[in-house]
Amino acid sequence: MFASKLALIVASLLSAAVSVLGHGYVQEITNAGNEYSGYLPYSDPYMSPAPQRIVRKIPGNGPVTDLSLIEYTFPPVCMKASGSFRFSVQCNGYSEGGVVGSAPAPVYATVAAGSHISLNWTTWPESHMGPMITYMALAPSDITSWNPGTSAVWFKVDEMGKDSSGKWAATDILSANNSIYTFTVPKNLKPGKYIVRHEIIALHAAHTYPGAQVYPSCIQIEVPTPPTPQELSMMPIQILARFASKERGELIAQADKEYSPAGLRQDPVHDDPNGVLFEGFAQMVALSPPAYSRPSISGKAILIDPV
């Protein structure tokens, strides 16, 4: 009993401490009146028994900053004096020993096609402006044991950049909506189990290496068979590089162009598999050092160089 209370006290102190540092993650998911807690990195690891979450584990409220590969090696000084961790741009997972991605969550939520999913973020720092994008991937097997790896399985279902008044999805629009972002699950989606990958791409430091910061969360859902199913065909993509900058300092201008109303659809038509959302564009990459070599891309991914 004492150990359990002590763990809760420690978790509360850690949670309070990191909230001051900024950054963030999805802390709650709501669909059709059902509420699901996100993975809480500063309390869940201290709970016994471990909470059953529909969101894959994340190491904390910090970003993935090197997006040139599916994963990368980085020695975080604050966590370990030597050795390395491997961070995944897909689901913000990490582990020692070269495990790719974040471990699958033990459960999933049942979500009807065409319904709305609301994602409640922790308080987002005002300076971390940028777009918010949501992808999905159909699991070919048991979602509680499946990782996408390098497969081209992702398709984009929602996006929001900068509106006509110059306000960004994050932080302006997100903050105005009490830190809640809502998107619609495609109504003609094929029944099955999916990973929903939702992210904020913060551009406040994009002018200098390592550049843009990505904050992804991966949520596990099941889309049941509707009374009259009409499957939507999609062209999947890989989560890889979005921009490869020839010179430092070019990313902000290019990102501003791509995520402005002229470059980013604000009223996506989910039923059109050939529309901008389902042709997809792959992940934005942080500004790269001179020796950066772009990864090869399969599937329908699009890689755009600055003009």
Place of tokens 């961790």: 85
8 Å CB contact between 102 and 121: no
User: What digits encode the pLDDT tens for the residues 198-239?
Assistant: 999 998 887 777 778 889 999 999 999 876 655 555 556 655
Say yes or no to pLDDT of 5 above 70.
no
Average pLDDT score over residue span 153-178: 91
Tell me which of 30-34, 47-51, 93-97, 296-300 is least confident: 296-300
What sign has the CA pseudo-torsion 270, 276, 279, 285? negative
Say yes or no to pLDDT of 51 above 60.
yes
8 Å CB contact between 281 and 301: yes
Q: Which residue has the higher pLDDT, 15 or 22?
A: 22
> What is the C-alpha separation between 280 and 194, in angstroms, rounded?
17
Average pLDDT score over residue span 62-88: 49
* Radius of gyration (C-alpha) of the chain in whole angstroms: 19
> What is the C-alpha separation between 211 and 209, in angstroms, rounded?
5
b/e code 141-166 from CB counts within 10 Å (16+ = b): eebeebbbeeebbbbbbbbbbbeeee
Say yes or no to pLDDT of 46 above 70.
yes
pLDDT of residue 213: 86
User: What digits encode the pLDDT tens for the residues 134-143?
Assistant: 999 999 989 9
pLDDT of residue 225: 85
Please, how many CA atoms are within 13 Å of residue 299, restricted to the half-sphere of its CB?
Answer: 22
Closest CA to 238 of 142, 139, 143, 135: 135
